[in-house]
Amino acid sequence: MKSSKDKLVVGAGPAGLVAAINLKREGFNVILQEKQARVGGEPGWHPSVHTTPVDDPGLYDYIGINCAEAFVDSTDVLKVFVGGKDVPGMKNVFGKLGMKNTERGDRPTSLDSFLFRIAEKEGVEFEFGKTFTQDDLERAAKGTILTTGLTPGMYDWLGIDHTVFAGYWANTETEPGFVSNTFYLGQFSNEYGYACAMNGIWYVLLFARRDVDPQDLEKFRGVLAEKEGRTFDKWRRFLGHTPKGPRLFHRDFILAGTLAGVVEPAFGGGITGALLSGKIAAMAVTEPDRALTEFKRFTDGIIAHIARKKAKVGYAPTIQMGKVWFDVK
């Protein structure tokens, strides 16, 4: 028989892992269900490297987990190119936030694996290779935490309006100690691209809201070769889904990570949002009013940013949501 101390978390990405760790520390019996055979997300998308602003140690203090081991500072090596030209002023804007790289995937050096080791030590129970179905959703207990990220099914089942976004990515091996962090704005797609490296991986991602002409892809690859002296075999295509607005509670469920819409809307940053929202989702189990206040504190302004982006005229990229997104106190 299930008790009020039993809690199910669906999705073993960073948001789900942070939620599970915090709930276990609160005395709950936590089961974390994941459709893949291990942590690390969709196997066709990783290993990958991502760069994100991190308030250190503010973020780690807020979520109750010191993640410094899984991040490397990349502020000093940060470069920003607009239309292929170096723009030091943009570097200063990004640099003030404190940029860090982290790895995603199932390798021992990834953020996912780091959090998994902590969750295991805390006593979280894992159910790997178990797909959460629509029937499971209908039977799930009130307060179940859903953190299924970019995949489309959950949005349809929950009736959440969502947007499809696309992109191209590539990775290649590099020397283990090499760290890089470069943003590429304009010229190649209607979004942006970046290239960053750590843990022996050089990773490139070009976002696009529609297909990119093969000539533009090759042009971007040429710029990468010129600016970074590195190249790769081929581009890989991906599709992802994000909600059209943030929400912590939906029906009888608690949402976290990308499914909750905690994604910085101008540049699509999701790492910091996943960690923050995992903590807030756990808080929502015991202190729903406080959790909603915190959720709004970090996500107020997203709708306005998205509206500005859609308007296009006069739109300028924004890398903070309100005043607190990357300044966690």
Per-residue pLDDT of 267-295, as tens digits, reads 556 888 899 999 999 999 999 999 999 99
Instruction: Give the CATH number of domain 6-311.
Output: 3.50.50.60
Whole-number average pLDDT of the chain: 86
pLDDT at position 257 = 92
The answer, yes or no, to whether residue 158 has pLDDT greater than 90, is yes
> Taking phi first (over 0 means left), then psi (-120 to 50 degrees means alpha), and beta for anything else, what does residue 98 get?
left
Question: What is the spatial distance between Cα 73 and Cα 198, in angstroms, rounded to a whole number?
Answer: 10
Alpha carbon distance 54, 275 (integer Å): 11
Summarize pLDDT for 107-153 with one digit per residue, the tens. Answer: 999 999 999 999 999 999 999 999 999 999 999 999 999 999 877 88
The Cα 326–Cα 329 span in angstroms is 10
Cβ neighbours of residue 240 closer than 8 Å, sequence gap 6 or more: 150, 164, 165, 166, 167, 258
- Please report, for the chain, the start and end positions of each structural domain, with discontinuous segments joined by +: 6-311
Task: Encode pLDDT of 184-224 as tens digits.
Answer: 877 776 678 899 999 999 999 988 777 788 888 898 899 89
Looking at residue 134, what is its pLDDT?
93
Paired tokens of 210: 């529609």
User: pTM of the entire structure?
Assistant: 0.91
Among residues 204, 230, 196, which one has the least CA distance to residue 101? Answer: 196
Evaluate if residue 321 carries a pLDDT over 50.
Answer: no
Q: Which residue has the higher pLDDT, 58 or 88?
A: 58
Beta-sheet pairing, 71-73 with 99-104: antiparallel
Mean pLDDT of all residues in 89-117: 87
CB 197 within 8 A of CB 100: no
